[in-house]
Amino acid sequence: MTESQFGITTISDEEFQFIKSLMYKETGIFLADHKKIMVQSRLNGRAKHFGLKSVSEYIARLRADHGFFNSELTELINRITTNKTDFFRENHHFEFLKDTFFPSLEEKASKNGKKYPKNLVQRLLDGRGAVHTRDHLP
C-alpha cells in the first residue's frame, strides 16, 4: 500500500496482481495494468462497508480469511465488472436479430442438416428480446 500525492492510499502492484489473477481465474476476465485505479475505486466501497481503513486491508482479509473470501467473491466480481444494461433496448437491435442474425443462424443450421433449438436464443434473451425471438424462431 502506498500513498498518492492526494493522501489517498493505493493498492500495491502485488495486491493488484492478486485481484487480476483472481478475476481471471474466476471469470476469465483479463484486467490490464492500467485498470489498477479502477479496481481500487470499485473496491473502496467494500472496504468501507466492512469498516476497513483501505482497499489493501480488504484484500488482506480476502487472502487471510477463507470464509470471508467465499462469502465476498460474488460481490467482489460484481463490483469490478461493468454491467452493461443497454443491450436490446432500441429497435435497431431487434431489426438486426430479425434481418441478419436469425436468417444467418438458420442458414448455417440447414447447411449442416440441422435445425437450431427453438429455445436456444430464448434462453439468451429476456423480456422484450425473448418475445421478439419467439416470433422469429421456427
**pLDDT digit string, tens, across residues 78-88:** 999 876 666 66
Q: Which pLDDT value is given to residue 55?
A: 95
Where among 80, 106, 122 does a domain terminate? 80
- The mean pLDDT value of the chain amounts to 79
Provide mean pLDDT across the span 134-138.
56
Q: What is the pLDDT of residues 43-72, one digit of tens each?
A: 999 999 999 999 999 999 999 999 999 999
What pTM, to 2 d.p., does this model score? 0.58
Regarding whether 51 and 20 lie in a shared domain, the answer is yes
Look at residue 39 and tell me whether its pLDDT is greater than 70: yes
- Alpha helix ranges (H) inside the chain: 13-27, 36-49, 55-64, 66-80, 91-96, 102-111, 119-124, 128-136
Q: How far apart are CA 124 and CA 77, in angstroms?
A: 21
**Dihedral pair phi/psi, residue 54, rounded to 5°:** -160, 165
Regarding whether 61 and 20 lie in a shared domain, the answer is yes
Q: What are the CB-based long-range contacts (under 8 Å, 24+) for 105-114?
A: 106/138
Q: Which pLDDT value is given to residue 126?
A: 47
49: containing domain = 2-80
Provide mean pLDDT across the span 25-37.
93
CA dist 117 → 96, 112, 138 (Å) = 20, 14, 9
**Within a domain: 85:** no
**Within a domain: 132:** yes
